[in-house]
Chain A
Amino acid sequence: MSATRRLADLGVGETGTVHLVEGEGAFRRRLMELGLLSGTTVRVVRVAPLRDPMELEVRHASLSIRRADAMRVLLRPSEKVS
């Protein structure tokens, strides 16, 4: 089995399914309230010219987060990258 994939590992145009958001506290709750929940499909729409932050499409809405924060979002390992 390969190492755990994280949201930050996805390339532009790739899709993944959220497994869980690591850590605790306000920031984790905020990401979840924005729709990043276990089972949610996420697509990387683009990354900024300087590679960070990255723009995601979550539940038909746009959401941009920094790479460091995307590192905390684990993806389901079984998910095939489209």
Chain B
Amino acid sequence: MSLPKRVVLAGNPNSGKTTLFNALTRSRARTGNYPGITVERRMGSLQVGDVRLQIVDVPGTYSLSACSAEEIVVLDEILPRQGLAPDLALLVCDASALDRHLYLALQVIESGVPALVCVNLIDEARDSGVSVDAAKLSAALGVPVALVSARTGEGMDALRAAIVATVAAPLRASVALALPVPLQAALTSIEAAVRASAWAKPGEDAARISALAKWALLSIGDDELAVPTALREAVESEREKQPDLDSMLIGARYAKVEELVAASVTRRSEERRKSERIDAVLTHPVLGLVVFLGVMTVLFQALFAWSSPFVDAIESLIGFLQSFLRTTLPEGALTDLLADGVVAGAGNVFIFVPQIAMLSLFIVLLEDSGYLARVAFVIDRVMGAVGLHGRAFVPLLSGFACAVPAVMATRTLENRRDRLITMLALPFMSCSARLPVYALVVAVVFPQGTLFHGFEAGVLALLSMYLLSVVTTLLAAAVLRRTVLRGPRPSLVLELPPYRWPEWRSVLRTVADKTWSFMASAGTLIAAITIVLWALLTYPRNEANETRFAQEIAAASDDGAVAELEHARSESRMQSSIAGTLGHVIEPAIAPLGFDWKIGIGLIASFAAREVLVGTLGIVYGIGEEEDETSVGLRDRLRHARRTDGTLLFTPLTGLSLMVFFVLAAQCMSTLAAVKRESGSWGWTIFLLVYMNVVAYVASLIVYQGGRMLGYV
């Protein structure tokens, strides 16, 4: 059987490409990443009659030109430097903005790849008085043109038929650009360099060579690409002779686009679009900020509060499953593995689903409606000050709820450097999992009524932690931008697309796609680490103790005594486990921060999730893991805990040091799994783990030792 023919879907951002892809492929699609970089590659299949075509959706772009590894994927889909060219390039354009969208289409058609121009959003264009003459445009371009509205389905049958017909009998277009003489001369020598390089195959056709030469002229210089040295030198030497080559080429293309538009597009009037009237309110100096704050509040509320019933339901389901396993299966290591390892591991993955789905839903709605671009527009001034892109705002804000969906939300950033900086800084945002830790510590060391210069000390401490988290996040972004992720001057190029009603099926599909892809990749890692952590906290067991506890429990007179003994058994098990040993091993390292080995076990266990610290302290202090941060028993136990030298362990200073550590440390494996997935690199993941923990250690050290020097204990 022969391979299915491949159709590549290319177009500007906001050309309605995703909706078109969804409409063409229905539910037959899967999302992957290009190897080594986190650029989404979506593939699906289109079935028309007995013809089955493979459809590839590439990232939206204004041009084939590239200066980074992630921008070059579009070139490689359309004019692959290795492998086979696609059977058809389906070029998606916004009917209302052909003046710009045809630039990319022209660039692809010039290269000689069989092409079909799909003029999308035709309904919207009609409403704003723009009409497109498909026959004239097709005649001028030399390739078929289809007018469609992927959203309403208008013209879609004709498009499917045109795709099948064009794939069966591809048309080679010949669009002639009027190139100035100096540019022609320069291109001739760059073409020679392309032909001599590894990019050219034997018997290569002239159109492809010429397209690669033009691409090189507009991409090389100021780039991070791996291109043949001779080609780079050819471009640089031509540019030295004639510095204006790029504007000549771009100018010649736009001159052609203007000609095409003049021949095929009529604008009834220059009436302002509906969107401009909406924007008069939504980007208004005062009202715009009010609406912005309102929308962000709702988003925040959704992440924090609306997802919590679902989270609670998943937690009770997990709890139910665990106790079900324990009661039906015989007591033993296998049951423990199933209940505390496997089920807990799966639970640690599912627990993120409500927030990820909620945030994905919000982002898709904001993006598809056009408001996400306005969010970036409104807040860019603030974000730009610390070297972040305006679009980084939503991921950062989401970091207050949970870093995992927030890291996934960095996908809305187009540039890899912007995305890395954002995902490496946002885990400092104080997420909701830190709150139970603060609550417990504050209750232990600053019970209500503890005043500091007349203010409630607990409230001040809590506020300071949130302030510390925000300041550190912004500082980290600024420092990363100037050090390890230094690069070309950050700039912002943003398009404010017309406001559109999101298309529900497309929205739900995107949410399902994102959630599923989290479970499939980051999820498996999270589940695996949960099982490893469980083993660390469980084994080895002290058999003598096990036998003794078993006998004592069997002999116990009442339920209270049994519970007491079970708590003692949990405590003893944890102490004899690898984590218990590790707690002792790391004690010398964490003693300068004011922590003892029991807190050390807590730090290790909280790698599963920060709030696990509370339950773990419950176990090591022998009162059971069912305790939460509001438990009076646990608070009392901690308040009276003593170090081996007899001094109190939980002084206000230890508490502050512990809270500062929890604000700053990268001790959440799920965040690391998400960063691994989104950065596509273990290197950056390990970098995050190391730098955050170093910052946390140093900060806690300064708090604890500085506090002692100032005379606090």
Which residues from chain A sit less than 8 Å from chain B, CB to CB? 20-21, 24-35, 37-38, 45-46, 48-53, 55, 58-66, 69
- Could you give 18 example pairs across A and B, Cβ below 8 Å? A24-B243, A26-B67, A26-B221, A26-B488, A28-B246, A32-B250, A34-B493, A35-B100, A35-B254, A37-B247, A45-B276, A48-B288, A48-B380, A49-B285, A49-B289, A49-B378, A60-B96, A64-B493
Whether the pair A46, B100 counts as a contact (CB closer than 8 A) is no
Instruction: Give Cα A82–Cα B692 distance, bound, in whole angstroms.
Output: 54
Is B381 among interface residues, defined by CB-CB distance under 8 A?
yes
Question: Do A49 and B62 contact each other (CB < 8 Å), given the known contacts A35-B100, A58-B100?
Answer: no
Q: Are B488 and A27 in contact (CB under 8 A)?
A: yes
B382: which A residues are within 8 A, CB to CB? 50
User: B364-382, CB under 8 A of A: which get 1 and which 0?
Assistant: 0000000001000110111
Whether the Cβ atoms of B381 and A37 lie closer than 8 Å is no
* C-alpha spacing A68/B289, complex, angstroms: 22
User: Which of A28, A35, A45, A61 has the most CB atoms of chain B within a 10 A radius of its CB?
Assistant: A61
Nearest CB of B to A16, in Å: 17
> A37 touching B289 by the CB < 8 A rule?
no
B335: chain A residues within 8 A (beta carbon): none
- Looking at the complex, which of B160-168, B311-319, B494-502 is the stretch in contact with chain A? B494-502
Identify the closest chain B residue to A46 (Cβ): B283
Given A49-B285, A53-B494, A61-B495: A29 and B246 within 8 A (CB)? yes
Which residues of chain B have C-beta atoms less than 8 A from A48's C-beta? 283, 288, 377-378, 380-381
A29-B218, A31-B493 given; 17 more Cβ-contact pairs under 8 Å: A24-B243, A29-B246, A30-B62, A30-B63, A33-B250, A35-B254, A46-B280, A48-B288, A50-B378, A51-B381, A53-B377, A53-B390, A59-B100, A60-B96, A62-B496, A64-B377, A64-B494
Residues in B neighbouring A69, C-beta threshold 8 A: 491-492
A30's contact among B243, B286, B377, B493, by CB below 8 Å, is which?
B493
Instruction: Check B254 against A27 for contact (C-beta < 8 Å).
Output: no
Q: How far is the CB of B11 from chain A (nearest CB, A)?
A: 13
A31 → chain B closest CB, angstroms = 8
Chain B residues within an 8 Å CB radius of A30: 62-63, 65, 493
Establish whether residues A49 and B288, one from each chain, have CB atoms under 8 Å apart when the complex forms: yes
Given contacts A48-B381, A51-B381, contact A33 B62 (CB under 8 A): yes
Which residue of A has the minimal Cβ distance to B288?
A49
Nearest CB on A from B10, distance (A)? 15
- Report which of B254, B384, B488 forms a contact with A37, defined as CB distance below 8 A: B254
Q: Is the CB of B491 within 8 A of A27?
A: yes
A34 to chain B, nearest CB (A): 6
Please indicate the chain B residues that have their CB under 8 angstroms from the CB of A53 in the complex: 377, 380-381, 390, 492, 494
Separation of A29 and B249 alpha carbons in the complex (Å): 11
User: How far is A34 from B382 in the complex, measured between Cα atoms in Å?
Assistant: 25
Contact status of A32 and B247, CB under 8 A, knowing A49-B286, A62-B495: yes
Q: Are A27 and B489 in contact (CB under 8 A)?
A: yes
Instruction: Give chain A residues whose Cβ lies under 8 Å from the Cβ of B67.
Output: 26
B97 contacts chain A at the CB level, 8 A cutoff? yes
Query: Bound complex: CA of A65 vs CA of B284, how far in Å?
Result: 17
Which residues of B208-235 are within 8 A (CB) of A? Answer: 218, 221-223
- Whether A59 lies near B99 (C-beta < 8 A) is yes
